[in-house]
Amino acid sequence: MGLRYSVFIDSDHHKGATFGCAYCKTHLSSSTLVISKDYRGKTGDAYLMDQVVNIIQGKKVHRQMITGRYLVSDIMCHQCGHCVGWKYHKSDVKNQKYKEGKYILEVALIAQCK
């Protein structure tokens, strides 16, 4: 298997920082796409993101969380395979539907890229 094509997020063309995988620095998203910084993941603080690139989605599973039950899939860096967070696919709680289609990036698993 050869190298995967990765989307490059050029921080010179937007006002935000570029977030990448903490292990291999593959670009994942931009700070301009952060919806909220008030989230917790398995490793601590996390960001709710509107869009994430250069990932592979794992198998969809139901997970019970503090705010309800969700259908989610872990998201892994497509270059090195490390888990960086998860994607919300479906919420069983009516007032949590806004999370559907959004991503969680765990702060401990990402790094700011130059």
Neighbours of 105 (CB within 10 A): 24
**pLDDT band at residue 3, thresholds of 50, 70 and 90?**
low
Domain membership of residue 34 (yes or no) is: yes
pLDDT at position 1 over 90: no
In which domain, by residue range, is 59 found?
11-113
In the chain, the number of structural domains is 1
- pLDDT value for 14: 64
How do residues 6-53 score in pLDDT, each as one tens digit? 887 776 656 789 999 999 999 999 999 999 999 999 999 999 999 999
The verdict on residue 2 lying in a domain is no
The predicted structure's pLDDT at residue 114? 72
- Is 4 part of any domain? no
Half-sphere exposure of 87 (CA within 13 A, CB side): 16
Structural domain includes residue 1: no
Residue 53: CATH number of its domain: 2.170.150.20
Question: Residue 6: inside a domain, yes or no?
Answer: no
